[in-house]
Amino acid sequence: MEIRSYLVPTALATLLHIIVLGGLLTHWIGDAEPERRTPRHIQARMIDLNALSQTPSSPESGAESETPPAPDPAPKPNETQQKQQEQQAQAEQKRREQQAEQARKAAEEKARQAKALAAKRAQEEAEKRKQAELAAQRKAQEEARRKAEQEAQRQAQAKREAQEKARRQAEAKAKAEAQRQEQARAEAQAKAKAEAARAAAEKRAQSVVGDMQSYIQTLVEQNWRIPRTARNGMEAVVAIRLLGNGEVDQATIVTSSGDAAFDRSAVQAVYRTERFERVAEVDPILFERRLRSIKVIFRPEGLRW
Amino acid sequence: MVKFKSVLACLVLLVTGSLARAELVVEVTQGVAEPSPVAVVPFNWSGTSALPEDVAKVVEQDLARSGFFSALPRESMLGFPSRQSDVYFRDWRVSGSDYLLIGRIEPLGEQRLEINFELYDVLKEQRLMGQRVESTPAQLRDAAHYIADRIFEELTGLKGAFSTRIVYVTADRRADNSNRYRLMLSDWDGARPRTILESSEPIMSPTWSGDGSKLAYVSFETGRPAIYVQYLSTGKRERIQSFKGLNGAPSWSPDGNQLALVLSKDGNPEIYVLDMRSRQLQRVTRHYGIDTEPTWAPDGQSLLFTSDRGGQPQIYRLNLSSRDLERLTWEGNYNARPRLTQDGRFLAMVHRPQGGDFTIAVQDLKSGRLDILTRAGLDESPSIAPNGSIIIYASQEQGKGVLAAVSLDGQVRFRMPSPGGDVREPAWSPFLQ
């Protein structure tokens, strides 16, 4: 019967687990880690912009200088003419050679000039670079110096701040410590005072409780009709709950003597007492603590048997 | 939620634990040796003709005579309620009663009655029990004893013995100067006596079988003592022993299979055990002194008897299997006619202290303490109620034997009504079916 009653809940619970697990699984599978895409690298090449601007200009100038001047057309030869022509030709040759020499010289000059220009430019460039480097260097140095200064300033500031903080902390700590000590002292005093008061109250309470103990004992003994079945050595414990006015609210056997008449007589003794009047005079807190519920042990002494 | 509950449980434990530590404990060792007062209100009778018995009165007497209770006199009652709705516990509390019994009797057709009773705890203002009993006018007294038994058991935890019977012997002298002996049976309180055997020769030592169905006794009707068994339901009698000499003091074993008796067939009175099925006889004592009045211990393992082997009558215990003999009584110069309570703890006997008269005394076999319960002078033949609460015995009043009873602690003593004649040798029955 009991096992059957567990069946339905167990089945439901299992089903619920399966559903939850299923949901989680699909979630896990759908969210599989996305394919890692490798980033596209950009290949960069360093280009010297100065170099780029110079290179196209130099072949132009070279081509101009290398192109030879167009030769003059030669006169038609005969005897004189031929001689003339020869002279002319020689003159022409000479002229041409001179021209060529001039041209060569001019070309050389030009080349030399170009070379000198290039060298000058290169020199200027180098100078410029050097200047730039120097400037950069100076700038870097300046920057480093500034930075170092700033750092030093910062550090100094930090140090000052740290010192200030430490000082403030130490002050606060000292103040707190002083406060704590003061508080501890006050607390100790208060505690000692409270302890003394408590001890005094406890002493008073003890004496009140002791009084009540013998008062209750006397009343119950007056009201206990020991039954014929009672024997020396029998013992029953009755738990009593009292009301604030001392009236018996409830009395029950908590430890039986084993004899029904004895147990009954013990409970009856309490109910017959009906009310412990003097309990009403007790301070309510003490009543709650010590007298709200009490135990009475019934243990007859001096019986015949 | 579970966590919250466990925390709560811990808190409750802590609180109750600290309270329990602070709890005041009072020890009570003295009390008043008084019986509990019970108010037995007359039962309301709704019929027309008068009833032959006052049921409430019988119940009241039973309870009061037990020594456990005292009855509130009717004239002190502030009312006669017969139903719960009419009960005002304050009234009964004021009158000092611990318990209250109310009841009503109604006719239930021809010669039949219905009794309803209810028992209340006055101090706790609580109904303890209630029951409906059917009866006839002729059986009203039985019904009353039954009700008393139920109440006694409810309040004391002990089985009530008010429905038990007693037997006793009476002797009177007739006009022609001859003696008339009668074996009588009555209620435990002596009421409703009836003769179960009449003889002109002495009748002695009646004793009950363990189941209460038959009696054994000694009759001289044949001119010499013989032991008879008589069945109570049929009246049928059987003579079981008649040896030469003394045949006396029969006692049934608790299981009813054996009968201890005294025979002097071998010279002087000795104790024998007779097996009732095989009729075989076994002698258990051998002494030149007189051994008599055997009685069985409730466990059937030993016999107690009176013997003067020590010079004066004292009570001894003989273990039947080991044959160990132990003298139980040491106080006084005469201790005889032993009877044990069903728990085997208390020994009732006829006791004569040094220089005194015959009294009924009880000895606690656990502590050895002996208490004298009566003061009459010629008390004899104690017999204990099966619940051990009361001892019935024969006493002398104005030179005539009467029946009296005393509670085991000697607190309550009363005389029983006597049908006349010299009354002797009462014997209390076991619990009856």
pLDDT in tens, A101-144: 888 888 888 888 888 888 888 888 888 888 888 888 888 998 89
The answer to whether residues B151 and B169 belong to one domain is no
Q: B205 with B118, same domain?
A: no
Please state the rounded mean pLDDT for residues B10-16.
Answer: 46
How far off is chain B from A191, nearest CA to CA, in Å?
22
Q: Which of B156, B182, B198 is the last residue of a domain?
A: B156
For chain A, the structural domain boundaries read 224-298
Q: What's the burial of A188, exposed, middle or buried (CB within 10 Å: 0-12/13-18/19+)?
A: exposed
Name the A residues in 1-30 with CB < 8 Å from any B CB: none
- A224-298 in CATH: which number? 3.30.1150.10
Is B224 inside a domain boundary? yes
Q: Confidence band (pLDDT; 50, 70, 90) for A305?
A: confident
Q: Which of A206, A223, A225, A262 to mutate to test the interface with B (most CBs of B within 10 A)?
A: A225
List the single residue in A with minimal CA-CA distance to B123: A271
Q: Indicate if B193 and B339 belong to the same structural domain.
A: yes
pLDDT tens, A162-190?
999 999 999 999 999 999 999 999 999 99
Question: What band does B36 get if pLDDT is binned at 50, 70 and 90?
Answer: very high
Last residue of a domain, one of B114, B139, B156: B156
**Counted domains in chain B:** 2
Which domain CATH number covers B133?
Answer: 3.40.50.10070
Is A252 in the B-facing interface, judged by CB distances under 8 Å?
no
pLDDT at A78: 60
Tell me: do B177 and B312 sit in the same domain. yes
Q: Rounded to an integer, what distance in angstroms lies between the CA atom of residue B405 and that of residue B423?
A: 13
Contacts of A304 (CB under 8 A, 6+ apart): B364, B369, B371, B409
Same domain, yes or no: B50 and B138:
yes
Q: Same domain for B148 and B173? A: no
Decide: A248 and A275 in contact? Cβ < 8 Å. yes
- CB of A229 within 8 Å of a chain B CB? The answer is yes
Calculate the alpha carbon distances from A224 to A105, A243, A263, B364 in Å: 158, 21, 11, 25
pLDDT at position A259 over 80: yes
Q: What domain range includes position B372?
A: 165-428
| Residue A268 near chain B (CB below 8 Å) | yes
The pair of three-digit structure tokens given for residue B116, joined into one six-digit string: 């309803």
Q: What is the DSSP string of B329-388?
A: --SSSEEEEEEE-TTS-EEEEEEE-TT--BEEEEEETTT--EEE---SBB-EEEEE-TTS
| In a shared domain, residues B385 and B409 | yes
pLDDT in tens, A193-211: 999 988 888 888 888 889 9
Same domain, B222 and B263: yes
Domain finish residue from B124, B156, B188: B156
Does one domain contain both B274 and B366?
yes
> Which residue bears the tokens 């039962």?
B43
What own/partner pairs with CB < 8 Å and gap ≥ 24 does B227-233 have? B227/B259, B227/B261, B230/B196, B230/B197, B232/B185, B232/B196
Q: Are B331 and B370 in contact (CB under 8 A)?
A: yes
What is the complex's ipTM, to 2 decimals? 0.80
Per-chain mean pLDDT for chain A: 83
Chain A contact present for B64, CB below 8 A: no
Cβ within 8 Å, pair A224-B371: no
Q: How many CA atoms lie within 13 A of A73 on its CB side?
A: 2
B240 domain residue, yes or no: yes
Shared-domain flag, residues B146 and B176:
no
The CATH number of residue B312's host domain is: 2.120.10.30
Reported confidence tier of residue B16, pLDDT bands at 50, 70, 90: very low
Residues B162-182 as b/e (b if ≥16 CB within 10 A, e otherwise) read bbbbbbbbbeeeeeeeeeebb
Q: For residue B368, what is the nearest residue in chain A, using CA coordinates?
A: A305
